[in-house]
Amino acid sequence: MQYRKLGRTGLNIGPLVVGTVNFSWLTNEADSFEVLDYAMDVGLNFFDTSNNYNAGKSEELLGRWFAQGGGRREHTVLATKVYSKPNEWSSPDPAKRDGSWVGPNDSGLSARHIRAAVEASLKRLGTDHIDLYQMHHVDRSVPWEEFFQAMDVLITQGKVLYVGSSNFAGWHIAAASEAAKRRNSLGLASEQSVYNLMNRNLELEVMPACEAYGLALLTYSPLAGGILAGPPTDNEAGRRSFMPKQESKKMSAFVALCDELSHSPADVALAWVAQSEHVTAPIVGPRTLGQLQQSIAALDIEFDDETLKKLDEIFPGPGGPAPEAYAW
């Protein structure tokens, strides 16, 4: 297993991030534990979750997995997120509140919500610290000074080691990083964003921003929600029912190219993301052990220049970084 640094930090992570969004939802606990154990055994040490995945149940499942011992927590780089409250909205009527009602201060990135959210996540995860605490979304109503003050307190307390962002624009990364510099804080260690052959918007500004500020780039949805896995089976008939005609033509050309390469569309799509010089590690969200094993095998696929050119012709990017992509 070849490890790489999390941006400019000294933290080593594996070439794939194991996402847990399916755990306690599409994947039961026993099968989730099997996936997590296998990942640890083969050296994948980075697990990503969120406080709002499955109303907090994904964090709770990880907590029960850690509780089995055997070095599970000690050898895991644990990432979770803050922005939303994990519980769903219920009635604002005080007479009907059941404890899950979200009030005006129970979401976002205020210092108050961060303090409450981190304590709740630590409790669900059964741990005393989070290795990478990520903003799940930008909060335009909160000044960066307030956010980093809250994070600096958590870092001083040992409850958080590194801070990351998710779903940020390039200028958000720049603004946050400059605010952290003014506080002499380490600032952002990583950005987590969607990136795949069908969605290459990151190439415009997010990738250059991450490179300029030394952030790791962790990308999710490498298969574009399953579309890049190829033609659906009978049980997946609805997966591509809303695909635009133009995208359907691209997929036909993509599947034909994958047939020439003797690799499945899913493997080619993941390998393309994993081989990007700008991507630190793609995030996969396996439902089964077999899917994780397939994802690991895809890391061994190598593309020659001609194949990369054909993929660019089928799924052209935005034309390079901004502003060259749209200006002289």
Active-site residue set: 53
Average pLDDT, the chain: 92
Spell out the domain ranges in the chain.
4-314
List phi, psi (to 5°) of 178.
Answer: -70, -35
Q: What is the pLDDT of residue 319?
A: 94
Query: Alpha-carbon distance 277 to 268, whole Å?
Result: 16
**pLDDT at residue 231 tops 90:** no
Residue 206 identity: V
Q: Residue 200 has which token pair?
A: 């290459």
| Cβ atoms within 10 Å, residue 117 | 25
List phi, psi (to 5°) of 75.
Answer: -100, 5
**pLDDT at residue 127 tops 70:** yes
Query: Alpha-carbon distance 120 to 133, whole Å?
Result: 13
In this structure, CATH architecture of domain 4-314? Alpha-Beta Barrel (3.20)
Which pTM was predicted?
0.92
**pLDDT at residue 242 tops 60:** no
User: Which of 88-97, 173-182, 225-234, 239-248 ranks highest by mean pLDDT?
Assistant: 173-182
pLDDT band at 98; cut points 50, 70, 90: low
**pLDDT at residue 275 tops 90:** yes
Return the higher-pLDDT residue of 302 and 232: 302
% the chain with pLDDT above 90: 86
What's the average model confidence in pLDDT over 131-145?
97
